[in-house]
Chains A and B, each alone.
Chain A
Amino acid sequence: MTPTAPPTLTSTGIACFFAMGTRVELHRFGPGDEDALMLAQRAIEAVDDALTIHRPSAATALNEALLAGREVAVDDPVLFDALIEIDAAQGLTLGLFDPTADAQRATGWRDVRIDAVARRVAVTRPVALDFGGFGKGFALDRAAAALRAAGVSSALLSAGESSIVVVGEHPLGGGWPFAIPDPLRPERELVEVELNDEAMSISSTVGAGTLAPDRAAMIRPGDASVVSAARCAVVIDRSGSHAEMLSTALIVAADDEVARLTGGARRFLFDLAPVESARMCV
């Protein structure tokens, strides 16, 4: 019997939907299973369902317990993975990405104790977690994994165009070229980058998006000060959630921390004001 080659599907496709408070777009190119985009969408919606604080979710249930100072078991696997990833990234972000940061309370990740074996969380004082600045990258990582598992080798995933993950190479070969405009002057380009099987996250304290009513202010962990300087951070990393956490950390970082966070990697911080000239790190 002659073995039949698996059918080569050259289907491209787009899925657009609303999740995590933003427009999500998934673009796939070339071979892979027919239902790959659907699986990727499901992966993102599962993260949204678990981490949202805008409707009842595993995250809101967790927050309720932690605000009451109760120790609690985390049954939701997505929420649990998120907590573990955030915990593991504390060194990477110099503790500057902190989902407990709250301008009203001087709380911090140090107040959170995770028992990874028992899958339990406890706090030393009441805190609530907000997964903004993490969730989009985390969700795109999971969607990218779903696409890879479905045999897709070229895809672009975007959440609100501020979190991007690309799977593999550009369909025409090589990297995926992106231009990032100045959020205050969109006609001006801050930087041009190429991604290859990588993720990118853009955070900014200014621009159209920051005017959205439900956007939380950027808060510096530790002293809980609100960052008001006009800044835009762009981070490229293998992992979407790392890129996301790092770009958030850069926005609140002090000068010496900026140098440590950006050292040698494709991580950029632009100070957009008060001086006209954008400062580029690295």
Chain B
Amino acid sequence: MTDKDFDLTRRSFIDRVLMATAGAAMSAATPWAAMAAGAQTPGTGKVRLGVIGTGDRGRALIQNIGKTRNCMVAAICDTYAPNIVKAQQWVPAGTPTFADHRAMLDAKGLDAVVIATPLNRHAQHSMDAFDAGLHVWCEKAMARTIADCGAMVRKSQDSRKVLQIGHQRMFHPTYLNALRRVKAGEIGTITQIRASWHRNNSWRRPVPADSNDRRINWRLYRESSAGLMTELATHQLQVGNWFLDAVPTRVLGSGSICYWKDGREVYDHVALIYEYAGGRKFIYTSLLNNARYGCEEQIQGSKGSIEPELGRIYQEIPPKTLALQRMQADVKRGHKRTVPIGGATWFPELPVTTPGDSLGWGEYDETMLQFEGFGEAVRSGRPLPGLLYQAYNASVASLLGEQAMDKGEALTWPTGLVTI
């Protein structure tokens, strides 16, 4: 792709974001989006990022950062040397590399860090970076415990440094557009979101000879992860809170290791109900041995439904020809005949089988936009409003869900969370 083509796709992506977020209702609901899309300051010296963790996600982030106008990767760090080597193809030759993040922080020359390490490392890496006077961009979920999530928030507030968490759906034109259509009343009152992330694989990665299972498959062990809850559900819980415009009041859940009895410690089946004020619900399942229903959030309103992963909106009225509409055609032909009413077409409360209309996809990457927004936040020293609130609540919700399943009890939303 030429630079000109690249600029065009970037422009069209950003235009979609701006279009989706125009108007008072949307700027109140998504204040971060237009600010990130408005980041227009190339040339004035890029924000220098040190990436901690160059595993799968870290390397994807490095590629995205490379595409931004206002950020650059100035150092990379990983305890596992082969992952440093894999990452080097995406950074300029001579970019300093580190095996210990403290050494990277001590070496100076950075404005912020990007953290893409296993979940149980996030809090320590963030704290150390704040202590070094840097801003922090950290992958979701925030931390392994609710207390650590709160500590990260408080630390960023106390040190007056930006803390941004990687919830890219908040920058995705399809999600923004979906929310705009919700705010416009197109699907009526949302009373339920049914979300799932179903996969059919063990979620287990092969372990190279020079590493070990707990390091490579950190997702499968409780010390380092809450499994499906923190790795997958967080994204969808963020979407749930965002579209229901609230945090849950209570969560009930059941988890089991049902299929992959391979020594893992985290559940391979989770099923939870998050309750929201007014009787609204977010119903969630995630499992690892059936992919039929994949990843989706079915946002259900009184007038329609939205499936943002598919990018579809459905109206409750199926546009099929009913007896009454046949009458119209009859009249045009000058033909009067008895209209059979009721019976099978009496009530419309049947599953909607129509394919729905497309909400429109963006080809360009929301992950990049996250970083352009972060770059602006670092430059101004002010976080993009609204983002951390969403991220914190999503992480708390995922960890509270884990506790509810472990205890087999309904748990109420914690009091004493940090105010953002």
Q: Any chain A CB within 8 A of the CB of B208?
A: no
Question: Which of these, A177, A183, A212, contacts B342 with CB under 8 Å?
Answer: A183
Q: Complex Cα distance A161/B339, Å?
A: 11
Chain B interface bracket (under 10, 10 to 19, 20 to 34, 35 or more): 20 to 34
- The listed residue (B188, B316, B336, B342) touching A180 by CB distance below 8 A is B342
A102 near B: Cβ within 8 Å?
no
A179→B327 CA distance, assembly (Å): 13
B281, chain A: closest CB distance, angstroms: 14
Tell me which residues from 274 to 307 in chain B have a Cβ below 8 Å from any Cβ of chain A: 302-303
Structural contact, A12 and B331, CB atoms closer than 8 A:
yes
How many angstroms between the C-alpha atoms of A14 and B315 in the bound complex? 17
State in angstroms the CA–CA spacing of A3 and B328 once bound together. Answer: 34
User: Is residue A97 contacting chain B, with contact meaning CB distance below 8 A?
Assistant: no
A179 contacts B315, C-beta separation under 8 Å? no
Instruction: Assess whether A124 is interfacial by the CB under 8 Å rule.
Output: no
- Choose, from A16-24, A138-146, A258-266, the stretch at the interface: A16-24
- Chain B residues with CB under 8 Å of A176's CB are 339
CA gap between A255 and B81 in the complex, in Å: 88
A181: B residues at CB distance < 8 A: 340-343
Would B341 and A161 count as touching, CB distance under 8 A?
Answer: yes
Q: Mark A1-45, 1 if CB is under 8 A from B, else 0.
A: 000000000001010111001110101010000000000000000
Contact of B328 with A177 in the complex, beta carbons under 8 Å:
no
Q: Which of B316, B324, B338, B348 contacts A179 (CB 8 A)?
A: B338
**Are A17 and B317 in contact (CB-based, < 8 A)?**
yes
A189's nearest neighbour on chain B, judged by CB, is B340
B-chain residues with CB within 8 Å of residue A156 when the two chains form the complex: 324, 327
Cα(A51)–Cα(B323), bound, Å: 28
Cβ contact within 8 Å between B346 and A177: no
Does any Cβ of A come within 8 Å of B3's Cβ?
A: no
By the criterion CB–CB under 8 Å, are A158 and B346 in contact?
A: no
Are the C-beta atoms of A160 and B336 separated by less than 8 Å?
no
What's the count of A-B pairs with C-beta under 8 Å? 99
Identity of the chain A residue whose Cβ is nearest the Cβ of B304 in the assembled complex: A18
Which positions 163-222 of chain A face chain B at CB distance < 8 Å?
164, 170-172, 174, 176-181, 183, 186, 189, 192, 202, 207-209, 212-213
Q: Check A239 for interface membership: any CB of B closer than 8 A.
A: no
Q: Is B261 an interface residue (CB 8 A)?
A: no
Among B302, B336, B349, contact of A212 (Cβ-Cβ < 8 Å): B349
For A, the interface residue count at a CB cutoff of 8 angstroms equals 39
Residues of A within 8 A of B316 (CB): 18
The digit string for B311-345, where 1 denotes a CB below 8 A from any CB of A, is 00001110100111101100110111111111111
Query: Bound complex: CA of A74 vs CA of B343, how far in Å?
Result: 38
Closest-CB distance, B302 to chain A (whole angstroms) = 7
CB distance from B403 to the nearest CB of A (A): 32
Contact between A160 and B348 (Cβ–Cβ < 8 Å)?
A: yes
The smallest beta-carbon distance between A197 and chain B, in angstroms, is 16
| Chain A residues, CB < 8 A from B339 | 176-179
Contact B324–A202 (Cβ < 8 Å) = no
| Contact among B189, B336, B345, B348 for A177, CB-based, below 8 A | B336
Is the beta-carbon distance between B325 and A14 smaller than 8 angstroms? yes
Complex CA distance for A182 and B318, rounded to whole angstroms: 23
Q: Are B341 and A209 in contact (CB under 8 A)?
A: no
- In the complex, A22 Cα to B349 Cα: how many Å? 8
User: Are A172 and B343 in contact, CB atoms less than 8 angstroms apart?
Assistant: no
Chain B nearest CB, measured from A88 CB (Å): 28
In-complex Cβ contact of B347 among A14, A17, A160 (8 A): A160
Residues in A with CB closer than 8 Å to B331 are 12, 29, 170-172
Which residue of chain A is the closest to B345 with respect to CB atoms? A161
Distance A209 CA – B325 CA, assembled complex (angstroms): 20
Contacts of A14 in B (CB 8 A): 325, 328
Residues in B whose Cβ lies below 8 Å from that of A23: 317, 348
Return A189 CB to nearest CB of chain B, in Å.
8
B325→A25 contact, CB < 8 A: yes
Known: A55-B189, A164-B341, A208-B347. 14 other contacts (CB 8 A): A12-B332, A18-B348, A21-B349, A25-B322, A160-B346, A161-B342, A170-B331, A177-B338, A177-B339, A183-B343, A183-B346, A186-B343, A202-B342, A209-B347
A-B contact pairs, 6 of them (CB 8 A): A12-B328, A27-B328, A54-B302, A177-B339, A183-B343, A208-B346
* 4 nearest CB pairs, A to B: A209-B347, A186-B343, A181-B343, A177-B338
